[in-house]
Amino acid sequence: MEKRLEQLREEYKSVPIPKELDSIVEKALQHKPKKKRIVMWPTSAAVAAAVLFTAVVNINPDAAQAMSKIPVIGKVVQAITFVEMKEEKNQSSIDVKTPALSGLSNHELEDSINRHYMKESKELYREFMKATSKSKKGHLSIYSDYETVTDTSDLISVRRDIEKTQASSYTQSRYITIDKKNEAVLTLKSLFKDDRYIKVISQNIKEQMKKQMKEDPNKIYWVEEDDMTEPFKSIHADQNFYITDQHKLFISFDEYEVAPGYMGVTEFKIPTSVISKLLVGDRYIR
């Protein structure tokens, strides 16, 4: 097992990261999986060295245990912690756990997702190093963790949280949802017949916002016209989302995206009855 981890370290330092994740994911979905070695955390050698030696890097025991299961039949698709960066410098700190997916037969798809996670971590580390340079005073805190929010026989949804604090804090959550059986990354658009879902979901969210504010005066959403803020008008076609183990759709907004900072990351459960006629099927949402 130690030899395998060392091999992964070397692969991690030697394989270049692709410029765009989406194109690789799309390409992977158009081809049948091929048998090949699993390459996790590829990146440029220079940045890899910075991450591995400047920061404190740990291989989580759970990750090692999960990786040891990868070659056997009946693999389990799951999210594991492969790299963790921790460092304090010039009154700034970084604590970033980088997740990795393991267990997909489509190694190209798995690798592209994991490269994307590593690319995010690299960007966070670069931001930390910039804040702690000689010309900066620091006072930046970067924290990132992840959680598997849905794990069924059909689906896995992983949320990655990134929190940055410098005078004030900002938190964002990013979800990735995968059809385990078909080994496909689900997008919000892929769940619906056409783009009517954008208007329908947006209208339902506005109704929920108004209802919540009426019931709880402590809740505020930017849903009405105001001189101070831009009101929420519509979700994006690729709005952040996840699907629960009860097959329900949740739409997620980053901190400050549709509400004041104290509201944090906000989520809305979309009633299936509202979108049922727009769905391509009931495999995922019902």
pTM for the structure as a whole: 0.73
Q: What does residue 156 show for φ and ψ, rounded to 5 degrees? A: -135, 130
Name the pLDDT band for 167 (thresholds 50, 70, 90): confident
- Indicate the pLDDT class of residue 19, thresholds 50, 70 and 90: very low
Beta strands 78-89 and 56-57: pairing type? antiparallel
pLDDT digits (tens, 9 = 90+) for 200-214: 999 999 999 999 999
User: How, if at all, do strands 92-102 and 78-89 pair?
Assistant: antiparallel
First-to-final CA distance of the chain = 42
Average pLDDT, the chain: 78
Q: pLDDT, tens digit, for every residue of 107-125?
A: 899 999 999 999 999 999 9
Domains of the chain (ranges, CATH numbers): 2-186 (3.30.565.40), 189-275 (3.90.640.20)
